[in-house]
A and B are shown apart, each in its own frame.
Chain A
Amino acid sequence: MAERNHPALILRHPTRDRVLHWLLVIAFLFVAASGLALFHPSLFWLTNLTGGGPWTTILHPFIGLVMVVTFIWFAAPKWRVNQLTASDYAWLKGFRYVLSGEEEKLPEVGEYNAGQKVLYFTLMACVLLLAVTGFVIWRRYFAGNFSVRVVRLGALVHAFVAFVLLVSIVVHISAAVWEKGSITSMVRGTVTPGWAYKHRRAWFRDMIRPGAGH
């Protein structure tokens, strides 16, 4: 379905980004469920959602690869726009105002706020580390090529990085639910001018400049 087609709306997430984002979500849900199942005995029941124990072992790495590739495809073009600027550091310094909703005390935000940028690099690092350590502990095809010490370290790092990723995604989802209009924008592609003005003012001004993308 195309973006909400009202002339007043501003395009925030083009079709490509929305498709890749939700593909990522589907892969993540599977990998998170199957990974958590093997992470702690109290969550082994999650294998019931991922095809049982042996299928969990078989599928987790493949779906994990789908997630990694999709993430890089999704995120690589956004590398430059996510570079942190001086005003991003000021925004992070004033993070308490973010939590209290006093956005007027913070520097104006561009396309992504500093929290999103930090998340961007955190996720990029997590995904790459998970891919590398995932190959090391992928018993069926690859683990035999590594010494047992390397495999042990791989398992440890894989679990730790997955933990960091999970917490990051919890933060990501919380923020999206919190900032009304964000989830709609990832589903329908557009935001209202009021949303852009309130939450991403610098980006809003870029977008309404005559001749800008909108």
Chain B
Amino acid sequence: MALQSLDIVRRSATKTPPPSVRGPVPAEVAKLIDTSKCIGCKACQTACMEWNDLRDEVGTCDGTYNNPTDLTAQSWTVMRFAEYENPNGNLEWLIRKDGCMHCADPGCLKACPAPGAIVQYANGIVDFHEENCIGCGYCIAGCPFDVPRISKHDHKAYKCTLCSDRVAVGLEPACVKTCPTGAITFGTKERMKQDAEERIVDLKSRGFEHAGLYDPSGVGGTHVMYVLHHADKPELYSGLAPQPHISRAVRLWKGVTKPLALGAIGLAVLAGFFNYIISGPKEVEPEDDEAARKEQEKAHGRA
């Protein structure tokens, strides 16, 4: 999204402070997705398409309700349907609306080499600014949730914006607006946590003893949270990461090693330069020419 914004707290590949005069906003926002209230109607997918003017290619049915079968540059949210047989032998249909989690510690932003292609606003939304995107795909490697997708047409990375354009003018995201069961709600992160707490008490009273909130601390918490009936086993929900965190390889790749490596290259250049300044060039002296000439003469004389 290309909104002029003065409340940016983090900007990719930028070491100086981003424009942040307008922060902090009153509070961080969050979307709360209550999987126990979701009926899998896909109205959220449709609302996302409509608001963002996205039209994915019509795909093929893979034998499940997953349609489309994966996130794409044109499908920023997808419902994932999992059939789970619980220990009592009953079927549970676990439906999870997948999409960007808007991590407090975003791996995509950390990995991105293009200044300003990824920003994080003071309200917690992580947004891609595609006009700065160079199409390298590092965000895909950085993301602990496998969310960003590069368009095959323009080679830019896309994902859910949490409707940052709507939120900026006081509206809730399109998927929230449309959800017919109230499974998706939006508000301050604090308020969403309180709502989740109430719901979890309710779910526990109905026999879901492991009901809980998914707000993983490994990525500093997220601005899209789930209420799960089985919070002890998030992986049941089509492979939701139990303990997501920015991969160690990415931290090493993007962390302190980079300035150290740059420094080492700079030092090597300085060492070469000052070695030359201190001990001078290795030059051929007249004696060497003379010695070479004598040996040549000797060799030819022998021939």
Contact = CB atoms under 8 A, between A and B. Distances in A.
Interface residues of B, number: 58
Nearest to A182: B282
Given A178-B282, A194-B292, A210-B302, A44 B252 contact: no
A153 interface: yes
Interface SS of chain B: helix, strand, loop or mixed?
helix
Nearest to A139: B137
Tier of interface size on chain A: 35 or more
Contacts of A148: 140-141, 143, 146
Nearest to B15: A41
A193 interface: yes
Nearest to A208: B299
A41 B282 contact: no
Contact of B136 (A57, A159, A180, A181): A57
A198 B141 contact: no
Contacts of B285: 194, 198
Interface string A187-202: 0000011111111000
Contacts of B295: 197, 204-205, 208
Interface SS of chain A: helix, strand, loop or mixed?
helix
B65 interface: no
Contacts of B150: 139
B253 A57 contact: no
B261 A163 contact: yes
Nearest to A153: B249
Interface of A: 37-44, 47, 53-54, 56-58, 99-101, 103, 137, 139-140, 143, 148-149, 151-153, 155-156, 159-160, 163, 166-167, 170-171, 173-174, 177-181, 192-199, 204-205, 208-211
26 contacts: A38-B134, A40-B258, A53-B133, A54-B155, A56-B134, A99-B275, A99-B279, A101-B282, A139-B140, A143-B137, A148-B146, A152-B141, A152-B249, A155-B141, A156-B250, A159-B258, A163-B261, A173-B272, A174-B275, A181-B284, A192-B289, A193-B293, A194-B291, A195-B284, A198-B282, A198-B285
